[in-house]
């Protein structure tokens, strides 16, 4: 059990931090014993504990005791932790190099921003930044595109975990990885255009004709399109009248192509609830003329088929981000199509502000998938896990990580497929390393003329399948993480016990028990699958692995 000393205004932040790092913790109580104490108040009590972790950008009285004299105080920066780049967004205190321990964290210019030292039988670690402020900044504001490839919040969790492991303190956690899989994957599609037949003599049609003719020639000249693809675009432009007459298939119709490519894999489709409504307060260029050309009734048959294939329908919101009443109308429109139940949303153009989570929650949505970059790919909130955004009490946020438009659109990253691939692989590697759920957005017409981003998407899906990921709809992933969040660790005599209400969890959770580490040997742990029902399953799993089931080293079994 980790005891946490923090300011009253930071209790909720640490509560969310320890939902992501799912391990036993509680607010520090003086009458209780803790093997790990985390303090972020500037106060350092005389504690008899195995590990003391001190966070803060202000000098403390304890710094002199460990000979970590305060150096320069700067506004943010980037530090290095064991080869990983870790952005710090709030104040950062550095230390003079006269301490008796080892430097854990250094800034880019070599200054020490984190130290570890042995004091008696305890390990003391001092970080020169405020963890609560960093977590709050990441979850409520996000990080700039220059650090998009860094899962910053995951690194903060990994650092604390590694400190506890290396100090030889046994503990239990529930990793953000379903049993039998390294991570989860959400394949999602924003249906902005259900077909080009819904756009006759409007800016969408004229824009397509330009991009399919002049635009494809430019892309071919830049090496972004093969001559065969260029010819295919020209052919699509020439046959457009026949599409309108119904004599040729609509090459922008997305559902058949995605169902074929994703055969057997569930996906989430975000449908715009109202035709010809561009939304208000939208600052996107030419937003007033960007209302959807289709109505959900136009695709009712496709919606039935998608659900029969195990896919999920959700709301591609227009005005829900700033008005709960309008959000309720948008939710009701899609609920009438898919039936009642837990319905999620992703805002059109990823619109939102600091009040959006509250509006969406009041409208009745149970999850949102709007927090991601428009201009790049990566970890906007530094997280690979769904989390509770600021202002919400129940609504969970599913971060968006990879978007086709951000990769390839000329006014965004404008990458070739050869350059886009390693970017995606790096993100997949990070999610594989830290667990969580990788969220992918491929738009409705991205497989078709004139974009031709379909081959890249097929390659991406096959790579994720090869990694052994758990493919699930956004709603299923949210439900799995909500069940993980519902697990409670109850203090018992000498240990903790797991509690989890509700039915069976599938795929099961992992209960990871970290063993006592022997000397400088490798860290050891045992994972036991747990469906959330009988905690005795954990005890039996540990016993079968030869791990002693003492309360102090297991999940209370």
Residues 149 and 112 in one domain: yes
d(CA 288, CA 428): 36
pLDDT score for 554: 38
Residues 335 and 359 in one domain: yes
- Asked if the model's pLDDT at residue 495 lies above 80, the reply is no
pLDDT score for 123: 87
Strand, helix or coil for residue 80: strand
Residue of 107 and 99 predicted with greater confidence: 107
d(CA 283, CA 413): 20
Residues 319 and 437 in one domain: yes
| Residue 100, in any domain of the structure | yes
pLDDT score for 510: 95
Residues 201 and 243 in one domain: yes
Residues 527 and 548 in one domain: yes
Helix orientation angle between 417-434 and 152-166, rounded to the nearest 10 degrees: 40
Residues 20 and 111 in one domain: yes
Residues 353 and 398 in one domain: yes
Domain end position, chosen among 479, 498, 522: 479
Q: What is the mean pLDDT of the chain?
A: 90
Domain CATH number, residue 132: 3.40.50
Produce one character per residue of 141-152: b if its CB has 16 or more CB atoms within 10 Å, e if not.
Answer: ebbebebbebbb
pLDDT score for 101: 58
pLDDT score for 99: 53
Residues 412 and 440 in one domain: yes
Averaged pLDDT, 491-505: 83
- Asked if the model's pLDDT at residue 356 lies above 60, the reply is yes
Domain CATH number, residue 298: 3.20.20.370
| Residue 179, in any domain of the structure | no
Question: Alpha carbon 316 to chain centroid distance?
Answer: 19
Averaged pLDDT, 212-228: 93
| Residue 246, in any domain of the structure | yes
d(CA 535, CA 216): 60
Strand, helix or coil for residue 325: helix
Averaged pLDDT, 102-111: 84
| Residue 326, in any domain of the structure | yes
| Residue 20, in any domain of the structure | yes
Could you tell me the residue range of the domain that residue 99 belongs to? 2-169
| Residue 373, in any domain of the structure | yes
| Residue 178, in any domain of the structure | no
Residue of 533 and 498 predicted with greater confidence: 498
Tell me which residue of 554, 512, 505 sits closest to 534, measured CA to CA: 505
pLDDT digits (tens, 9 = 90+) for 179-216: 999 999 999 999 999 999 999 888 899 999 999 999 99
- Asked if the model's pLDDT at residue 509 lies above 80, the reply is yes
Residues 525 and 385 in one domain: no
Q: What's the predicted TM-score (pTM) here?
A: 0.94
pLDDT digits (tens, 9 = 90+) for 55-70: 999 888 777 776 666 6
pLDDT digits (tens, 9 = 90+) for 295-353: 899 999 999 999 999 999 999 999 999 999 999 999 999 999 988 789 999 999 999 99
Averaged pLDDT, 229-236: 95
pLDDT score for 207: 93
Domain end position, chosen among 232, 250, 268: 250
Question: What is the total residue count of the chain?
Answer: 557
Residues 387 and 335 in one domain: yes
- Asked if the model's pLDDT at residue 33 lies above 70, the reply is yes
Tell me if 117 sits within 8 A of 100, measured CB to CB.
yes
Averaged pLDDT, 23-34: 92
Percent of the chain past pLDDT 90, that is, above it, reads 73
Q: How many domains, in total, are found in the chain? A: 4
Please report where in the chains the tokens 């052994």 appear, as a residue. Answer: 468
Q: What's the pLDDT band for 518 if we cut at 50, 70, 90?
A: very low
Percent of the chain past pLDDT 70, that is, above it, reads 91
Report the chain's C-alpha Rg in angstroms.
Answer: 26
| Residue 392, in any domain of the structure | yes
Residues 303 and 395 in one domain: yes
Residues 226 and 133 in one domain: no
């Amino acid at each position: 059990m980790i005891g946490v000393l923090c300011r009253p205004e930071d209790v909720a932040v640490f509560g969310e931090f320890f939902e992501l790092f799912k391990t036993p913790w509680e607010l520090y109580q003086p009458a209780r014993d803790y093997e790990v104490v985390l303090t972020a108040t500037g106060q350092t009590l005389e504690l008899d504990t195995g590990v003391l972790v001190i966070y803060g950008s202000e000098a403390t009285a304890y710094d002199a005791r460990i000979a970590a004299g305060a150096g320069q105080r700067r506004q943010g920066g980037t530090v290095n932790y064991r080869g990983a780049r870790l952005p710090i967004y709030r104040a950062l205190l550095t230390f003079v190099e006269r301490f008796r321990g080892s430097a854990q964290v250094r800034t880019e210019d070599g200054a020490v921003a984190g130290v570890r030292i042995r004091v008696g039988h305890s390990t003391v670690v001092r970080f020169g930044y405020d963890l609560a402020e960093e977590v709050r900044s990441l979850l409520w504001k996000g990080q700039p595109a220059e650090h998009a490839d860094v899962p910053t919040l995951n690194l903060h969790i990994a650092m604390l975990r590694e400190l506890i492991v290396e100090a030889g303190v046994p503990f239990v956690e529930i990793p953000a990885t379903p049993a039998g899989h390294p991570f989860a994957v959400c394949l999602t599609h924003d249906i902005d255009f259900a077909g080009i037949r819904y756009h006759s003599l409007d800016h969408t049609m004229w824009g397509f004709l330009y991009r399919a003719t002049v635009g494809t020639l430019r892309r071919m000249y830049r090496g972004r399109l093969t001559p065969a693809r260029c010819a295919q675009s020209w052919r699509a432009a020439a046959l457009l009248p026949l599409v309108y007459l119904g004599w040729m298939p609509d090459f922008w119709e997305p559902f058949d192509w995605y169902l074929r490519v994703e055969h057997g894999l569930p996906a989430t489709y975000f449908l715009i609830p109202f035709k010809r409504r561009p939304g208000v307060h939208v600052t996107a260029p030419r937003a007033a003329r960007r209302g959807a050309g289709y109505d959900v009734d136009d695709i009712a048959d496709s919606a039935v088929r998608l659900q029969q294939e195990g896919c999920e329908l959700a709301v591609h919101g227009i005005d829900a981000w700033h008005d709960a009443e309008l959000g309720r109308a948008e939710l009701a429109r899609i609920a009438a199509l898919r039936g009642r139940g837990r319905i999620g949303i992703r805002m059109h153009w990823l619109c939102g502000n600091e009040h959006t989570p509250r509006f969406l929650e009041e409208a009745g949505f149970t999850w949102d998938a709007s927090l991601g970059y428009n201009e790049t790919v990566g970890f906007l909130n530094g997280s690979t896990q769904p989390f509770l955004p600021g202002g919400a009490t129940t609504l969970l946020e599913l971060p968006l990580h990879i978007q086709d438009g951000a990769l390839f659109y000329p006014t965004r990253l404008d990458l070739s497929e050869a350059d886009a691939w390693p970017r995606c692989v790096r993100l997949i590697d990070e999610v594989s390393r830290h667990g969580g759920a990788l969220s992918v957005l491929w738009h409705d017409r991205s497989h078709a003329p004139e974009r031709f981003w379909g081959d890249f998407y097929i390659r991406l899906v096959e790579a994720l399948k090869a990694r052994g990921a758990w493919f699930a709809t956004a709603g299923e992933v949210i439900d799995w993480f909500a069940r993980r969040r519902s697990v409670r660790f109850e203090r018992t005599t000498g240990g903790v016990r797991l509690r989890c209400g509700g039915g069976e969890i599938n795929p099961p959770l992992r209960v990871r028990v970290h063993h006592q580490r022997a000397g400088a040997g490798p860290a050891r742990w045992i994972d036991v699958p747990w469906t959330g029902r009988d905690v005795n399953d954990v005890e039996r799993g540990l016993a079968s692995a030869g791990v002693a089931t003492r309360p102090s080293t297991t999940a209370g079994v």
